[in-house]
Chain A
Amino acid sequence: MSTTPYLLVRLGESLAALPASAVRRVVRGARLHPLPGAGPGLVGLAEFAGEPLAVLDLAQLLGKERRGARPAVTVVTWLGSGSDRELVGLGVDEAIEVTELDASALALGQALVGGRPTVVVDTERLGVEA
């Protein structure tokens, strides 16, 4: 049974898993500039490695209810694939650990991690209209 590494993150009370191969860096305390007039999915703009980085709210993107507090941790992630690939910040409440999931998890979109249901995120399709 082959497995792939995923970064486990917490969004409020629920869990999500991001493929580790798509994650560039986990950053805490990044300086976020909010944009009035932007949609609820955008937490703000930041700077990463000398480039501008748009930080999106992962909970919003996955269609979950958003509580008051701003996401404390930014996961700098490659979204899309091939020539379409771009670096985007995903705002989460907490980055927990890197764990191995079965290779089928991505196709299923779901997995059980430590008994808890976890959304497995397809970073190639995230943020694009269904």
Chain B
Amino acid sequence: MFDRHALRSSMPLAPVGIALLTVLLVVIAEAKSGSSWRSTSALLVAALVVAAGLPSIRRSFALRTAKQADRLRLIASLDELAAADLVRAKAIAADLPAAFAIPLGEALAPLEVLATRIQSSSVEVAGAAGAVKRIASELAAGSSEQSASVVEITAAMEELAQTATQIAGNAEAQANLARLGEATGNEGAAAVSRAVAGVERLRERIAAIAKRAADLERRAEEIFGVLALVEDIARETHLLSLNAAIEAAGEAGDVGRRFGEVAEEVRRLSGRSRDAAASVRRLLEEFSTSIAATVEATSAGGREAERVLLRVTATAGAITGLRDALVETAAAAREISAGTSEQRTASLQVVQTLREASSVVQQIADGLRGFSGAARDLEEAAVSVQLLAQGFRLASPSSLRHLAESWATELRPLLASPDALERRLESLLEERPDVELVFVTDRRRQRTAIVGQPALVRAVPIPDEIRFGHDFSDRPWFRAAAAERRGVVTSVMTSILTNEKVVTAAAPFFDGDELVAVLGIDINLERWTSG
């Protein structure tokens, strides 16, 4: 599904940095006042040679006459890139003259493709990890039951062995012995049949686990692949920001200062990506070690179950023989003494075998519990990568930042009419069953429109005092949207409606510099991933 090597060869990272850098170099060269045509052209020629292969750059001789407004627009586009908002960066770049817009567009296009793939594949992987976790729990629960029933059978057979020993030598109990022998012999045979069937079922379940474990290992590999790409982007972005800062350092005045600031922002973005990728990598490495150990344990468990199955099947034959011996020896005293010795030996052998079976089943149950733990770890790692990928804003259905920004754009004209606003919120909610709650808190009008999924609010109704005069300005989604002045995604929290994990996507409504309202969307993590 996600071949790291194929992706690398189809999307070279170096020209991304080179193209952006070329644009920066050329613009700074142009911003140098009083520079001679010779030094500017030397810079341009250097940039041309470096970016060989991008034919549009050759048109850059026209940049000598670039307008101040266009340079400022270029800076704004790079600002948006530093905030990882590829939608706005592209939109601003489109308004630039072709000589700027084309190289910038060529630089942004592969970034966008990569970020989109990361976003959508991380959602898939997290969904798969969730499914595996559920199956692992079911398997663990099933085999605990298995273990319990084997323990029961073992106890019954031990009683039988004791009874046979007690009766030995008591001639008066011959008739009783015969009757007892028949009853316990039948029960014993039935018990062994149940044990055989149980071990068979267990063997099938172990085979299922081994297959799931192999799936998990593959998924972990895919996530490692995604991580390596994220780390590559962080490295390339960091290098780009350094070279921009170096160029800006040689530039006195406003343009140089602005470039220096943008370069610093981009460098911090790369640092955040690198740190997040490093912590996900640590989680994954722990997971990989534990899954390898569990795979080993379940294979060993499978082999053990096979051996026990053979022994238990042989025991079924021994029990039938035991029952027959008990019935036949009721007539003669000497035969009774001889018979009870045989009974005792045969019973003990059966008990021994069942004890071994019980112990193996117990080990398997323990292994499955470890597997559940590993599956939970994987799901956590997959969710971390999924949220890391949400840092980009892209015009894609997987981008939650984009969801918040596009709903905000739609709802803005309706802020003045509360009824129309609520109706629109209801219809947006119908389109997205993974959204638990959507709300718009209007600071000017001191009221909040809030709509939840009908099934959820029937169980947990929304209190009225939230809608009027309630101050949300201390909530993390509110503060983040107000501070960033753009769509944001919060970290994972627990929903008050469902008690499950949610993330909140939020977007601010600004009137000039005044924050007038904030849109919040609570997305149920499980439904978003599996939906």
Is A in direct contact with B (CB under 8 Å) within the complex?
yes
How many whole Å from A77's CB to the nearest CB in chain B? Answer: 10
Contact partners of A98 in chain B: CB under 8 A? 242, 245-246, 249, 260, 263
Whether B128 sits at the interface, judged by CB under 8 Å, is no
Query: Are A20 and B49 in contact, with the CB atoms below 8 A?
Result: no
**B236–chain A nearest beta-carbon distance, Å:** 8
Comparing A23-31, A58-66, A107-115, A119-127, the segment that makes contact with chain B is A23-31
Within 8 A of A (CB), among B276-316: none
Query: Which residue of A is nearest B21, CB measured?
Result: A25
Instruction: Report chain B residues within 8 Å CB of A28.
Output: 235, 239
- Interface contact B46-A26, CB-CB below 8 Å: no
| B197 part of interface (Cβ distance < 8 Å) | no
Asked if A97 and B46 make an inter-chain contact with CB atoms under 8 angstroms apart, the answer reads: no
Q: Are B46 and A7 in contact (CB under 8 A)?
A: no
Tell whether B250 is near chain A: CB-to-CB under 8 Å.
yes
Residue A49 contacts which of B50, B239, B242, B243 (CB distance < 8 angstroms)?
Answer: B50
Does A20 lie within 8 Å of B239, measured CB to CB?
A: no
One digit per residue, 1 when the CB lies within 8 angstroms of any chain B CB and 0 when it does not, for chain A 90-130 equals: 00000101100000000000000000000000000000000
Q: How far is the CA of A97 from the CA of B246 in the complex (A)?
A: 9
Fill in one digit per residue for B230-247: 1 if any A CB lies within 8 Å of its CB, else 0.
000001000100110110
| Contact status B249-A5, CB under 8 Å | yes
A20 to chain B, nearest CB (A): 4
In the assembled complex, the Cα of A21 lies from the Cα of B248 at a distance in Å of 10
**B49 in contact with A7 (CB, 8 Å):** no
Q: Shortest Cβ distance from A58 into chain B, in angstroms? A: 16
Q: CB distance A21 to B249 under 8 Å? A: yes
Task: Give Cα A23–Cα B243 distance, bound, in whole angstroms.
Answer: 9
Query: Is B219's CB within 8 Å of the partner chain A?
Result: no
Most buried by A among B239, B243, B245, B246: B246
B393 within 8 A of A: no
Instruction: Fill in one digit per residue for A2-44: 1 if any B CB lies within 8 Å of its CB, else 0.
Output: 0001010000000000001101111011000000000000000
Q: Does B267 make an interface contact (CB < 8 A)?
A: yes
Within the assembled complex, what's the spacing in Å between the Cα atoms of A110 and B239? 25
Interface string of B205-224 (1 = CB under 8 A from A): 00000000000000000000
Instruction: Establish whether residues B246 and A23, one from each chain, have CB atoms under 8 Å apart when the complex forms.
Output: yes
A49 touches B49 (CB 8 A): yes
Which residue on chain A has the smallest CB distance to residue B236?
Answer: A28
Q: Using an 8 Å CB-CB cutoff, how does the interface string of B246-267 with A read, 1 for contact, 0 for none?
A: 1001100000000010010001
Which of chain B's residues have a CB closer than 8 A to the CB of A5?
245, 249
Q: Are B46 and A49 in contact (CB under 8 A)?
A: yes
How far is A67 from B242 in the complex, measured between Cα atoms in Å?
Answer: 25
- Residue A50 is within 8 A (CB to CB) of chain B in the complex: yes
Q: Are B245 and A97 in contact (CB under 8 A)?
A: yes
> B49 contacts which of A23, A25, A50, A97 (Cβ < 8 Å)?
A50
Residues of B within 8 A of A20 (CB): 245-246, 249-250
Closest B residue, CB atoms, query A5: B249
Q: A20-B246, A24-B246, A98-B249 given; name 16 further pairs at CB < 8 Å.
A: A5-B245, A7-B242, A20-B245, A20-B250, A21-B249, A21-B250, A23-B246, A25-B243, A26-B246, A29-B14, A50-B49, A95-B239, A97-B242, A97-B267, A98-B245, A98-B246
Which residues of A come within 8 Å of B, CB atoms?
5, 7, 20-21, 23-26, 28-29, 49-50, 95, 97-98
- Cβ contacts A to B, 20 pairs, < 8 Å: A5-B249, A7-B246, A20-B245, A20-B249, A21-B249, A23-B246, A25-B246, A26-B239, A26-B242, A26-B243, A26-B246, A28-B239, A29-B14, A50-B49, A95-B242, A97-B245, A97-B267, A98-B245, A98-B246, A98-B263
The 5 closest A-B pairs by CB, nearest first: A20-B249, A5-B249, A98-B245, A26-B242, A49-B46
